[in-house]
Structures are given as C-alpha cells and as structure tokens.
A and B are shown apart, each in its own frame.
Chain A
Amino acid sequence: AQSVSQHNHHVILSEAASLELGCNYSYGGTVNLFWYVQYPGQHLQLLLKYFSGDPLVKGIKGFEAEFIKSKFSFNLRKPSVQWSDTAEYFCAVNFNNAGNMLTFGGGTRLMVKP
C-alpha cells in the first residue's frame, strides 16, 4: 500500500536554528505533495504544495520544500525558525492523481525554544 513516512516525531530547536523535516513516500508514479501545519489550538492549514515544475517550492512564513523524485522525498526547510513556528507539521501525498485523496504522514511535532 502507498504510504507516507515522517521519521522525526519530535524536534526541539532554539530560535534562529535551521529546520529540516523529512518526508518520504512509497510510490514511483505521479504524486502531488503537500505540507500542512497545525498551530496550537488551530485548524490544519496548508503551508505549501508541489504539483509540477521547479522542484523547490516556497510557501508561507519563509518555509520551502524540495521534491527529490529519485529519493521519493519532499523535505520541509526553514533557514531560521522562530518561537511562533512551534506547531505540528504534516506531510501529505496525493498518489497518481487519484481524485483528491490525501495520504498523510504521522506528523512531526516541532518545539522552538525562545
């Protein structure tokens, strides 16, 4: 079955540190890729998405992600995190243009220390 893996379940960083969260998926066909974020007490919201074209995509709040097809990966990055980035981050994949069905990873809980 197609799956999405986020290997880092919990990450703790100090402010201004660089962030990279891993996301891997188990499928060699066409994929559409998403990162969602859930701030404490808030709804899940879209951070960025990749469908085609430039594999380096930029999202809101200074986040970016790079699609590496050969590695089946879509890692999320931010050069310098802020305390307000404390949240849970979810990678999601639409496999083979299957309607609009998303398969989510297990999430990574990020805590940024001030």
Chain B
Amino acid sequence: EAGVAQSPRYKIIEKRQSVAFWCNPISGHATLYWYQQILGQGPKLLIQFQNNGVVDDSQLPKDRFSAERLKGVDSTLKIQPAKLEDSAVYLCASSLGNRGSTDTQYFGPGTRLTVL
C-alpha cells in the first residue's frame, strides 16, 4: 500500500514570497490533516479535512495560510506571504475517517521549508 506522498521535500524561499505544498493521501482515506512542526517541537495541527470539507482550521493563520482539498483527494497548503517564523517541516497525514477519534493517522515524509 502506497503511503502519504508529499512534494516538494525541501523548499527555500525569501520572506514575503509565496510557497505551496502538495499532499496525496493514502487511497481511500477520507480525512486529511496538515501539521506544522517547528524545530524542537511536536507537530501542531493546522487544518483537518473530511473529504473536501473543513473540520477544523482553528490553528491556521488565515491571514497568510490557505488550504484546499477540492476533489476530496489531493490537497495543497499555501503560504502567502511567508515570514521567517514559518520555517518548519509541514507534515501531511491521512486517516480512513470512519472511526472518529480512534482513527490512526498515517504521516507523509514532510516538506522542510526554510524562509530566509
């Protein structure tokens, strides 16, 4: 079974530029998550989708971050404009979405963003 795919794996940009990350979840997984992991910290949930609807985006900085999952499969996360403090690894995860709070999340390899 293929895992969660993410691209690019690494990205270096200057502050005030924009950047986009792509995620392809495990086939058949209805729920998709985007996390931000700053160096030395645990992952922090940014947004959760159930199919193509947003379940929770309370920790997404909406003035600069946006995410979409138009067809309920792939998802993109965008930052515009980027700030220095956005330097982090952005993780995508997916789960079946049929077991509620006991669903196991499967993580992708992440995209390491460096903002200069």
Task: Tell whether A pairs with B.
Answer: yes
Interface set of A (CB-CB < 8 Å, partner B): 4, 6, 32, 36, 43-46, 49, 51, 90, 92, 94, 97-107
Contact B42 A43, beta carbon cutoff 8 Å: no
Contact A98 B101, beta carbon cutoff 8 Å: yes
Chain A interface: which of B16-24, B69-77, B79-87, B105-113? B105-113
Bound Cα distance A100, B95 (Å): 9
Please count how many residues in chain B sit with their CB below 8 Å of the partner chain's CB atoms: 27
A79 to chain B, nearest CB (A): 25
Given contacts A44-B107, A100-B101, contact A106 B42 (CB under 8 A): yes
Residues of B within 8 A of A97 (CB): 100-101
User: Smallest CB-CB separation from B37: which chain A residue?
Assistant: A104
* 17 A–B contacts from the bound complex (CB under 8 Å): A32-B102, A43-B109, A44-B43, A44-B91, A45-B106, A46-B104, A90-B43, A99-B100, A100-B31, A100-B95, A100-B100, A102-B105, A104-B43, A104-B44, A106-B40, A106-B42, A107-B42
Partner of B48, one of A36, A99, A106: A99
